[in-house]
Amino acid sequence: NYYPWGYDSDNGPDQWHKNYPFAKGRHQSPIEINNKEVHYDSSLLPWFASYDPGAAKTILNNGKTCRVVFDDSFDRSVLRGGPLPGVYRLRQLHFHWGSSDDHGSEHVVNGVRYAGELHLLHWNPKYSNYLDAKRRTDGIAVLAIFLQVGETPKAEMKRILEEINAIKTKGKNAPFPNFDPSILFPKSHDYWTYHGSVTTPPCEECVTWIILREPIIVSSDQMAKLRSLSKNAENEPDHPLVDNWRPTQPRYFRMVSASFL
Ligand SMILES: NS(=O)(=O)/N=C1/NCCS1
Ligand SMILES: [Zn+2]
């Protein structure tokens, strides 16, 4: 009897490997990033995002996260440079967050858990489609940005959070036109990079991670807004959509490179 994966004790990260064997691999994500183990790589190039606001389509609640999807039928919104061998097409962005402001991110930096983590998922168009790209070690690039709670929130987050009321329950979606996610980026483009996996089942090891050092500031109210989402459908008992983050996984013999000293 099929029981969907999730983040609860009976279907959460510790159980995923039963249906998704990749979850016990040697290149899993997220991981702990510790300064003393990071390797500064002066040859790392800057990364560039060239996003077309017209590519933004829809915002949805899939019961696991809040996701904005983009038209990825051609090289319309792309990420390039950094550790990437070519352009990667923006397909969607989504968030991970906690049940309170003191945790919620997936990656952990020198023991610091942030309130949340924004992921912009891109795929390598040298492969015929996204699903094919997910089967390749160089198939996916995720740009990760930490959400830190502070007093002067980033105004640009408002647009996404204003839509939350329209997608309260699982399966709800709303049009989300004219949105360039690069307005969410912090000032500094400094990043860490390593090779890992998608952090949700099937946990394929296909991701070049680009994790920005500088978090973006959100307000506690904005985090509360994300936590007001429900993981259930409209006509089901209400369960808040919170703590949709995977714990850190063993790094094994992977190098984490830094673009900055
Ligand atoms: N959180 S993540 O970006 O690594 N995982 C994903 N799974 C399918 C689309 S994105
Ligand atoms: Zn994610």
Residue 105, ligand 1, Cβ within 6 A: no
Contact 141, 86 (CB under 8 A): no
Q: How far apart are CA 15 and CA 107, in angstroms?
A: 20
Residue 121, ligand 1, Cβ within 6 A: yes
pLDDT band at 1 (very low <50, low <70, confident <90, very high): low
Residue 198, ligand 1, Cβ within 6 A: yes
Average pLDDT (214-226) is 96
Average pLDDT (199-225) is 97
Q: How far apart are CA 88 and CA 78, in angstroms?
A: 5
Long-range contacts of 21-24, Cβ-Cβ distance < 8 Å, separation of 24 or more:
22/197, 22/202, 22/203, 22/204, 22/205, 23/201, 23/202, 23/203
Distances (CA, A) of 250 to 27, 63, 159, 177, 196: 8, 27, 36, 39, 11
Task: Determine the distance separating the centroid of ligand 1 and the alpha carbon of 200, expressed in angstroms.
Answer: 6
Task: Determine the distance separating the centroid of ligand 1 and the alpha carbon of 29, expressed in angstroms.
Answer: 10
Average pLDDT (95-101) is 98
Task: Determine the distance separating the centroid of ligand 1 and the alpha carbon of 119, expressed in angstroms.
Answer: 8
CA dihedral sign of residues 98, 256, 91, 131:
negative
Average pLDDT (181-210) is 98
Average pLDDT (53-64) is 98
pLDDT band at 154 (very low <50, low <70, confident <90, very high): confident
Average pLDDT (157-184) is 96
The closest residue, in CA terms, to atom 4 on ligand 1 is 198
Helix boundaries (H) for the chain: 16-19, 130-133, 157-162, 220-227
Q: Which residue has the tokens 């983050």?
A: 245
